[in-house]
Structure 1
Amino acid sequence: MCLIAFAWQAHPRWRLLLAGNRDEFHARPSAALARWNDSVVIGGRDLEAGGTWLGVTDAGRCCVVTNVRDPRDPQLGASRGLLATDYLAGAADATAHAQALQADAAGYRPFNLLTFDEAAAFYLGNRPVPKAQAVMAGVYGLSNADFNTPWPKTRALMGHVEHWLAAHGEGDDFAPLFAALADEHRAPDQQLPDTGVGLERERWLSSAFIRGELYGTRASTVVALGHDGRGVIVERRFGPNGREEGETAMSFGEG
């Protein structure tokens, strides 16, 4: 994933409400949202490295991973996507997992990781050093920088999530969230971060939805996990230049 906003323990029906976009090279092979036949994971699948960028389980877990945008970083180490599948299929709860991962986090490519279970949520990262932070109730955002770094598109998506929480009460109409994920508005130059990729690329990457021939938004996903243990995950997929390639919606949970 490259853009995420989520609400944790901030809604009367949904324990977790998460909306995010996965940006990736279109040539990188991946499978659509599905129940994996060799794992408890429900999610899309990276067919190159075998992991996932976002997944859930019937046991009420959710995990999502982003990279860290820094062209100076050599990107060495184990695949980030394996972090998500290891957590989702593992026995450790979110708290124990966070404590254990800090010892091994440096061995992975640059990552940000969000983990959720029935009782706790954590942000974990490994740049510039391994770190773990418990997430309290509220609305948060994450992109290709540290947790809650106020990039314009991250702040904007957080605002849309906050508006959805206020406007939809007990509802499950996710259309406004998908509309926010489809926003192609670019931030003014004075608000752009400087991550070392140059001004033109910073402009292009500043929108929630990135349209491109070789690289761009591959999937938009909404996850809603209820206090009763039941949930829904919806994925919309896109090809080169934003071409629509289908939608999958799945219910899950053991409520």
Structure 2
Amino acid sequence: MCTLILLHRPQPGIPLVIAANRDEYRDRPARGPALVRRGTRTLLAPIDLRAGGTWLGLNDAGLFAALTNRPSAAPDRTRRSRGLLVLDALAARSALEAAAALQALPAGRYNPFNLVVADGRRAFAACYDETPRVTELAPGAHVVGNADPDDRSVPKVARLLAEAEGLAAGPRRDWLPGLAAICRGHEGEAPLGAACVHHGDYGTRSSVLLRLERDARRAKLLFADGAPCATSYRDLSFLLHELRRADRSAATATALGGIA
């Protein structure tokens, strides 16, 4: 994924809002968002069918994680898939726990990446270039591309960050239509400067819009299985409710196990 927009605790009652465009080669197979059981956790995530990982996801504890690749001269294909690291992060109970695990990653195990974790209370970004650097993100708007988070020296990041900050500073409302418009945008220098990328056999393959709320019944998940400029977003919010039920079921099972 090449573009992640995060509104971290933008207003009371709204812990997290996400817009994410995934840019990838068109022949790389993937499956859309679905519930996945991994260890003791239930995850809601799309899956990369080539390497088995993912580029973003949400777990039954309310932890969100998303990955963007950082540039490297020659990616080492013998290293572990970065998408598997997102699944590892989603095993955590909180953003703080996930951030600690990211800070402890060994040197030289992954090709360069950015990985954001957020749980509606705290948010962290890990930048990995042979070794990890983890920083906490302040409440507000953030944009993560292929350089450091919120790096305004990158024209694409500067433009999208200004648009996201404008949305977050506005009156309380549903930000998803505004974020969808940003994700569909073709402004910027070709071929990779736009939010929605079209470049031969490479481009924006899918887009996710996510709004989490204190009232979980109002949470929203929208997914476009294609470039969002030409593909409608489908409402997959029912998957959030199924994830919530999985969390309640796990809590009940744990309580009963403790009683036994």
Per the normalisation by structure 2, the TM-score is 0.81
Partner residue, 2:58: 56
Query: For 1:124-143, what per-residue CA distance to the aligned partner results, in whole angstroms no more than 9, with x for missing partners?
Result: 12115311111221221110
1:247 aligns with 2:227: no
1:31/1:245 Cα in 2 relative to 1: closer, same or farther (>3 Å)?
Answer: farther
Q: Which amino acid in structure 1 is aligned with residue 103 of structure 2? A: Q
For the Cα contact (< 8 Å) 1:115–1:123, is it kept in 2? yes
For the Cα contact (< 8 Å) 1:212–1:242, is it kept in 2? no
Structural mapping, 1:92-171, within 5 Å: 92-106=93-107, 107-127=109-129, 129-150=131-152, 151-169=154-172, 171=173
Q: CA deviation at 1:75?
A: 5.4
1:50/1:12 Cα in 2 relative to 1: closer, same or farther (>3 Å)?
Answer: same
For the Cα contact (< 8 Å) 1:4–1:154, is it kept in 2? no
SS in 2 for 1:205: coil
Distance in 2, matches of 1:7 and 1:119, equals 12
1:168/1:177 Cα in 2 relative to 1: closer, same or farther (>3 Å)?
Answer: farther
CA RMSD of superposed structures (Å): 2.5
SS in 2 for 1:66: strand
For the Cα contact (< 8 Å) 2:5–2:141, is it kept in 1? yes
Q: CA deviation at 1:244?
A: 2.9
1:27/1:242 Cα in 2 relative to 1: closer, same or farther (>3 Å)?
Answer: farther
Partner residue, 2:221: 233
Percent of aligned pairs with the same residue?
30
Partner residue, 1:196: none
Distance in 1, matches of 2:233 and 2:216, equals 27
Query: For 1:16-52, what per-residue CA distance to the aligned partner results, in whole angstroms no more than 9, with x for missing partners?
Result: 1121210000100000122225661112111111111
Q: CA deviation at 1:61?
A: 1.0
Partner residue, 2:68: 66
1:14 aligns with 2:1: no
Per the normalisation by structure 1, the TM-score is 0.82
Q: Which blocks of at least 5 consecutive residues in structure 1 are unaligned? A: 188-202
For the Cα contact (< 8 Å) 2:89–2:98, is it kept in 1? yes
Query: For 1:45-94, what per-residue CA distance to the aligned partner results, in whole angstroms no more than 9, with x for missing partners?
Result: 11111111111123211000010123345455111111111121x14532
Out of 89, 93, 109, the residue aligned to residue 87 of structure 1 is 89
Distance in 2, matches of 1:242 and 1:228, equals 31
Q: Which amino acid in structure 2 is aligned with residue 215 of structure 1? A: Y
Q: Which amino acid in structure 2 is aligned with residue 3 of structure 1? A: T
Distance in 1, matches of 2:160 and 2:6, equals 9
Query: For 1:97-151, what per-residue CA distance to the aligned partner results, in whole angstroms no more than 9, with x for missing partners?
Result: 2223223253122110001124321111211531111122122111011122222
Q: Which blocks of at least 5 consecutive residues in structure 2 are unaligned? A: 249-260
Structural mapping, 1:19-34, within 5 Å: 19-34=19-34
